[in-house]
Amino acid sequence: MSKFYVLNPGAATRYYFLDLDLASMEEAASDWSYRQLASFKGTAHFGVEKGTTPADFLDTNCALIVVSDRVIDLLQKHNLNGYATYDVRVMKGGNEIEGYRGLAIVGRGGPNEPSLVTHYKTSSGASSRRISGIRPTAWDGSSLFTVDDLYRIVLVTEDVKSMFEREKITNCIFQPAEDFSIGY
């Protein structure tokens, strides 16, 4: 069985942190799934809210992923798949910071393994669930992908993780998918 990792932008405060201009999303919504963002034809506008240093992955105040052209070039060079891009505009102090794209994840993992979900009642009687681990049930073989019931969690293969680490891609973190946990 393949080993998968959850990929997230890092939260290091020295790197640019972006604030999305919601009006720039036009007909799109910032809560679209990553797959839906592949069909976004506009340009998402971001302002640098804090931080002093550019990075390959930029954290945002929404769930959109902004990456450097270097990341896209490496994905293409290594024939990795499961992603699309869309236009972004990153501004800092009235000046455009060039060299960034929005990353849409189009690879599919099917639903998460049902045995990893625990349903329970809270002390108030409300229904909740806890997910302990991610194991795709119908992975399409993509290098970057999401599972249907966790469509905002980006998963990558060992090849992506190794390449990003080897190439010293900045401001991204990897968590083994089996260690992922969330309750709601």
- Please give the structure tokens belonging to residue 175: 């968590």
93 phi-psi bin (left φ>0, alpha ψ -120 to 50, beta other): left
Q: What is the structure's pLDDT at 106? A: 95
Q: What is the structure's pLDDT at 184? A: 72
Sequence-separated (6 or more) residues with CB below 8 Å from residue 184: 128, 129
Q: What is the structure's pLDDT at 170? A: 97
pLDDT tens-digit profile of 7-61? 999 988 999 999 999 888 876 665 677 778 888 888 999 999 999 999 999 999 8
Task: Check if the beta carbon of residue 19 is closer than 8 Å to that of residue 63.
Answer: no
- Please give the structure tokens belonging to residue 8: 């997230």
Mean pLDDT over all residues of the chain? 92
Residues of the chain with pLDDT under 50: none
Which of 131, 169, 173, 171 lies closest to 151, judged by CA? Answer: 131
Q: What is the structure's pLDDT at 62? A: 86
Q: What is the structure's pLDDT at 86? A: 94
